[in-house]
Amino acid sequence: MSRSERLLDLIQCLRRHRRPVSGHTLADEMGVSIRTLYRDIATLQGQGAPIEGEAGLGYVLKPGFMLPPLMFSDEEIEAIVLGSRWVAKQPDQRLSAAAANALAKIAAVLPDDLREDLDASTLLVGPPAAAIEGIDLGLVRQAIRNERKLGFLYRDAGGAASERVVWPFALSFFDKVRVVVAWCELRQDFRHFRADRIAELQATDTRYPRRRQALLKEWRATLDKPRGS
Task: Summarize the confidence of residues 61-67 as an average pLDDT.
Answer: 71
Structural domain includes residue 131: no
pLDDT tens-digit series, residues 119-147: 777 888 888 766 677 899 999 999 999 99
Give the E-state strand segments of the chain in sequence order: 51-54, 58-61, 148-155, 161-173, 178-184, 189-194, 198-207
Specify whether 193 is located in the same domain as 158. Answer: yes
What distance in Å separates the CA atoms of residue 179 and residue 171, rounded to the nearest whole number?
6
Specify whether 27 is located in the same domain as 50. Answer: yes
Structural domain includes residue 127: no
pLDDT value at 173 more than 80: yes
pLDDT value at 70 more than 60: no
Specify whether 115 is located in the same domain as 78. Answer: yes
Specify whether 107 is located in the same domain as 160. Answer: no
Of residues 136, 194, 131, the one with CA closest to residue 164:
194
Q: How many structural domains compose the chain? A: 3
* Phi then psi dihedrals of residue 122, to 5 deg: -105, 15
Specify whether 57 is located in the same domain as 79. Answer: no
The CATH number given to whatever domain includes residue 161 is: 2.30.30
Specify whether 94 is located in the same domain as 45. Answer: no
Question: So what's the pLDDT on residue 1?
Answer: 61
Structural domain includes residue 177: yes
Specify whether 141 is located in the same domain as 209. Answer: yes
What distance in Å separates the CA atoms of residue 221 and residue 214, rounded to the nearest whole number?
11
Question: So what's the pLDDT on residue 226?
Answer: 60
Question: So what's the pLDDT on residue 209?
Answer: 96
What distance in Å separates the CA atoms of residue 58 and residue 23, rounded to the nearest whole number?
6
pLDDT-based confidence at residue 214 (cuts at 50, 70, 90): very high
Structural domain includes residue 194: yes
Specify whether 160 is located in the same domain as 198. Answer: yes
pLDDT-based confidence at residue 67 (cuts at 50, 70, 90): low
Q: What's the whole-number average pLDDT of the chain?
A: 86
Pairing of strands 148-155, 161-173: antiparallel
Specify whether 158 is located in the same domain as 217. Answer: yes
Are 7 and 43 contacting, i.e. CB atoms less than 8 angstroms apart? yes
Task: Summarize the confidence of residues 48-67 as an average pLDDT.
Answer: 80
Question: So what's the pLDDT on residue 228?
Answer: 52
When comparing pLDDT for 167 and 126, which is higher?
Answer: 167
The pTM for the full model equals 0.65
Which structural domain, as residue segments, surrounds residue 55? 3-61
Structural domain includes residue 66: no
Structural domain includes residue 67: no
pLDDT-based confidence at residue 65 (cuts at 50, 70, 90): low
Specify whether 213 is located in the same domain as 190. Answer: yes
pLDDT value at 186 more than 90: yes
Structural domain includes residue 24: yes
pLDDT tens-digit series, residues 28-52: 999 999 999 999 999 888 888 889 9
The CATH number given to whatever domain includes residue 29 is: 1.10.10.10
Specify whether 115 is located in the same domain as 159. Answer: no
Structural domain includes residue 132: no
The conformation of residue 196, written as its DSSP 8-state character, comes to G
What distance in Å separates the CA atoms of residue 178 and residue 136, rounded to the nearest whole number?
11
What does 27-68 look like in DSSP terms, one character per residue? HHHHTS-HHHHHHHHHHHHHTT--EEEETTTEEEEPTTPPPP
Specify whether 177 is located in the same domain as 206. Answer: yes
Which residues contact residue 10 at a Cβ distance below 8 angstroms, ignoring those fewer than 6 apart? 26, 30, 37, 40, 41, 44
